[in-house]
Structure 1
């Protein structure tokens, strides 16, 4: 039997490794689409489904992951997720046609969907709240670094080897992760197994999957506007029907009553809005560097490295910053700082020195890392241990939606300002990107208003290891006993 201290030492590494695989694969395939299309004898546009299928399966799989963890245990579900993800990676690399590739990516997304909430749940239940900040601060790094490294790593692999190697690199990592799972992953189960909300699963998953798909294809003219609006209305109706269903169901798929916990609600909703600005950066920055500055892909990738380096360095400082200033002050000020650094990219043009661009990237990574560390840990400050599984599932579902919204908003805003100007027009492309950065910066700064609803002592059970005031705790937790 592995002792608790050993589990605490290895579990963050295990979860971080699995999440890194999942986040990296969400973007690494993008730069390989032309090579994959040539190999499979199809057009690059027809392989758009290879990208969207992964995102769709994430949207469908995440909501049911909490129920599976409660029913079958975190060790079995997390190990199965890694096994599915690794097997699907092999199938992707062996694909002989587009249909096989899409099926393999759907399977890969389902594996990835179980990794994120179940891994986070294991962390929450293993570490006391006084130690949760350090553990979560380490685990969220893949979410910051994966999307930044994905296009660069994918481009380098395609340049030096076959596109199939993009997927095969997951095999040794997956096998190592499986070994660590069955050695160090604790096996937590729900105290009282609840029935699966099948109707809720159909309503919520179909609504989020349809909405995510529409966001991915919006602006590509593959559907006429009337059809797009009808499908958008259908997705909204499905999600509204789920809310109505969840309020009546005794054991809903996602217990939305948990949002009555004030700090959890502010963290989830505030994070959702904040990611609308931040989420567009992995899409916009490569366009700025490659189309606006005319840099090759490898140099564009190098310019994104300072952001990843700053994000890693920030994990050493975040606990002290939060302990010193508190969640309320940090999130209000830091959200504005993120918006200002996004706005600084409007000053980047063909004549901008590389070290100035790297400096902005360092600031961006620094503030982004602090933001995600703060939002992701504040969410569990006042959530009872028995509700941690549901809280993790809800937070992961909202984060997946916000990622889709963020990427879509970046492309939509850029397309709006670019209009019908050819993408070969360097001056106009750069101007359109500058306008997009400014719009996303304003959106991000406005999201700081959500965090004004925090109180001065919120989150001290995590940042300082202090229990929340009994009055506030009783007020915020009372609805849960009735839900």
Structure 2
């Protein structure tokens, strides 16, 4: 396989697959009323259609690294896209809510293998000095997918049938599978390790329950006692996994990799950052529609500038990191994101549209630089043999942080809106402004995590300088 063609096609291939996965995580939300009417059920009963996809991701991501090591990145990625595409067809053909839920669960399992396996192929194909440029293509889908999902879903439902939401994945899936077979490198693990079945049960069960709780957070169908007991169960399962992982030779997720300081700061800092940023896809449509009184389609269009800025950022991110280094960029950029989120707390009916677009452009640019920097920093001091494990751990934490971020946005919104009637536009806008300021404060706090970086951390990626793996003991 020609290495030049691999480097040309691989970033686009992985980005396309990840865009499908990220888009489908949110595209169904706006179509729930139409799906419910078509299947003859209530919209509330279709909550499982949304949560089953999240559960599929939570269960499938942890085992994806082991599968890639055992069966090879090309085969696993090809199967993942095939499962995702087949599940999309089943979703579009589903005659009942139960079949729709089962198909979405299968779709989530397929999508779960795309993210870590795709990143693994990128990390192993490109030397660290070229990793930033390649990762810039991969990070954009994760940024614009959740923003565009509700808009795309709304437009499709408005103009055609809700079933088209799933059928549009078919041509993309077929093309992607062909490109995988032609241009995807086939990497295997350095050693054959057995599957940690007890660890898989403990970790997947814990993350699945926790992800589901965060997805249904704030609903009145569950009592506080039930929520509390299930939260305790999920945390207990995760704690049991940590204990198990420290005592087995081949754990599902080797948490000792968190001893690598740059990897640990990237994972923890990214998790904290997403608590604030992750609530924006929830708050922004409310501000545009309830606060500014815009129709849904105009609200969706106002999400587009962030996506455009995210794509434009990839042209200058490598130069910015090469000039200032990871520590300075991540600390300053995190503060810039917090400031930009706070600016949305000043947007009202009298705010010029051009200014709103400008703030959205800033948000897309800073977010894209942030996630591109965090994701590449994670591999700065990771040995090649550990890249599969590092990708799986990083993807698992990112999936959880996305759920936590949406739950945070829901909690902040509910806290400030309280019992304010949605017809009172002034009070609703004021409450949403306080929500943005709360998210801004949470985002700024994550800068303290990146402050622990050292000046030369990440130079192997940003400046092409080889650095020794930096490890230090951490409590298990």
Range class of TM-score, shorter chain? over 0.9
In structure 2, the partner of 1:108 is 107
User: Using the alignment, how far apart are the partners of 1:45 and 1:288 within structure 2?
Assistant: 24
1:354 aligns with 2:360: no
In structure 1, the partner of 2:153 is 154
Q: Shift in Å at residue 181 of structure 1?
A: 0.4
In structure 2, the partner of 1:388 is 387
User: Using the alignment, how far apart are the partners of 2:145 and 2:160 within structure 1?
Assistant: 20
Q: Shift in Å at residue 286 of structure 1?
A: 0.7
Q: Shift in Å at residue 42 of structure 1?
A: 0.7
Q: What secondary structure, in the 3-state scheme, does the structure 1 residue paired with 2:46 have?
A: helix
Matches within 5 A, 1:235-254: 235-254=234-253
Matches within 5 A, 1:234-383: 234-383=233-382
In structure 1, the partner of 2:189 is 190
Q: Shift in Å at residue 479 of structure 1?
A: 7.0
Q: Which runs of 5+ in 1 are unaligned?
A: none
Q: C-alpha root-mean-square deviation of aligned residues, in Å?
A: 1.2
Q: Shift in Å at residue 227 of structure 1?
A: 1.1
Q: Shift in Å at residue 353 of structure 1?
A: 1.4
Q: Shift in Å at residue 169 of structure 1?
A: 0.3
Q: What secondary structure, in the 3-state scheme, does the structure 2 residue paired with 1:192 have?
A: coil
User: Using the alignment, how far apart are the partners of 1:44 and 1:348 within structure 2?
Assistant: 32
Q: What secondary structure, in the 3-state scheme, does the structure 1 residue paired with 2:345 have?
A: helix
Residues 284-324 of structure 1, C-alpha deviations (whole Å, 9 max, x = no match): 10111111111111100111111000000000010000000
In structure 2, the partner of 1:172 is 171
User: Using the alignment, how far apart are the partners of 2:75 and 2:211 within structure 1?
Assistant: 29
Residues 426-472 of structure 1, C-alpha deviations (whole Å, 9 max, x = no match): 2222122111111110000010000011000000100010011x4xx
User: Using the alignment, how far apart are the partners of 1:55 and 1:200 within structure 2?
Assistant: 20
Matches within 5 A, 1:113-128: 113-128=112-127
Q: What secondary structure, in the 3-state scheme, does the structure 2 residue paired with 1:351 have?
A: coil
User: Using the alignment, how far apart are the partners of 2:427 and 2:123 within structure 1?
Assistant: 48
In structure 2, the partner of 1:26 is 25
Q: Shift in Å at residue 425 of structure 1?
A: 2.7
In structure 1, the partner of 2:36 is 37
User: Using the alignment, how far apart are the partners of 2:133 and 2:180 within structure 1?
Assistant: 21
User: Using the alignment, how far apart are the partners of 1:259 and 1:242 within structure 2?
Assistant: 15
User: Using the alignment, how far apart are the partners of 2:198 and 2:24 within structure 1?
Assistant: 30
Q: Shift in Å at residue 421 of structure 1?
A: 2.2
In structure 1, the partner of 2:433 is 434
Q: What secondary structure, in the 3-state scheme, does the structure 1 residue paired with 2:446 have?
A: helix
Q: What secondary structure, in the 3-state scheme, does the structure 2 residue paired with 1:357 have?
A: helix
1:72 aligns with 2:76: no
In structure 2, the partner of 1:403 is 402
In structure 1, the partner of 2:204 is 205
Q: What secondary structure, in the 3-state scheme, does the structure 2 residue paired with 1:248 have?
A: coil
Task: Normalising by structure 2, report the TM-score.
Answer: 0.98
In structure 2, the partner of 1:53 is 52
User: Using the alignment, how far apart are the partners of 1:248 and 1:272 within structure 2?
Assistant: 26
User: Using the alignment, how far apart are the partners of 1:392 and 1:21 within structure 2?
Assistant: 19
Residues 216-238 of structure 1, C-alpha deviations (whole Å, 9 max, x = no match): 11211111111111111111111
User: Using the alignment, how far apart are the partners of 1:163 and 1:387 within structure 2?
Assistant: 42
User: Using the alignment, how far apart are the partners of 1:125 and 1:71 within structure 2?
Assistant: 16
Task: Normalising by structure 1, report the TM-score.
Answer: 0.97
User: Using the alignment, how far apart are the partners of 2:65 and 2:428 within structure 1?
Assistant: 44
Residues 38-63 of structure 1, C-alpha deviations (whole Å, 9 max, x = no match): 10011111111111110111011000
User: Using the alignment, how far apart are the partners of 2:40 and 2:352 within structure 1?
Assistant: 42
More moved, 40-49 vs 391-400: 40-49
Matches within 5 A, 1:471-482: 473=469, 475-476=470-471
More moved, 253-262 vs 432-441: 432-441
In structure 2, the partner of 1:424 is 423
User: How many residues end up aligned between the 2 structures?
Assistant: 475
Q: Shift in Å at residue 74 of structure 1?
A: 0.3
User: Using the alignment, how far apart are the partners of 2:180 and 2:440 within structure 1?
Assistant: 40
In structure 1, the partner of 2:451 is 452
User: Using the alignment, how far apart are the partners of 1:293 and 1:33 within structure 2?
Assistant: 24
More moved, 117-126 vs 350-359: 350-359
Residues 250-290 of structure 1, C-alpha deviations (whole Å, 9 max, x = no match): 10000000000000000000000000011011111011111
Q: What secondary structure, in the 3-state scheme, does the structure 1 residue paired with 2:437 have?
A: helix
Residues 339-379 of structure 1, C-alpha deviations (whole Å, 9 max, x = no match): 00000001111221111110100000010000011000000
Residues 198-223 of structure 1, C-alpha deviations (whole Å, 9 max, x = no match): 11111111111101111111211111
In structure 2, the partner of 1:223 is 222
Q: Shift in Å at residue 423 of structure 1?
A: 2.8
Q: What secondary structure, in the 3-state scheme, does the structure 1 residue paired with 2:180 have?
A: helix
User: Using the alignment, how far apart are the partners of 2:75 and 2:362 within structure 1?
Assistant: 40
Residues 65-100 of structure 1, C-alpha deviations (whole Å, 9 max, x = no match): 000000000000000000000000000100111001
User: Using the alignment, how far apart are the partners of 2:226 and 2:147 within structure 1?
Assistant: 34
User: Using the alignment, how far apart are the partners of 1:412 and 1:425 within structure 2?
Assistant: 20
User: Using the alignment, how far apart are the partners of 1:192 and 1:280 within structure 2?
Assistant: 40
User: Using the alignment, how far apart are the partners of 1:97 and 1:302 within structure 2?
Assistant: 33
Residues 374-423 of structure 1, C-alpha deviations (whole Å, 9 max, x = no match): 00000000000000000000000000000000000001111011112233
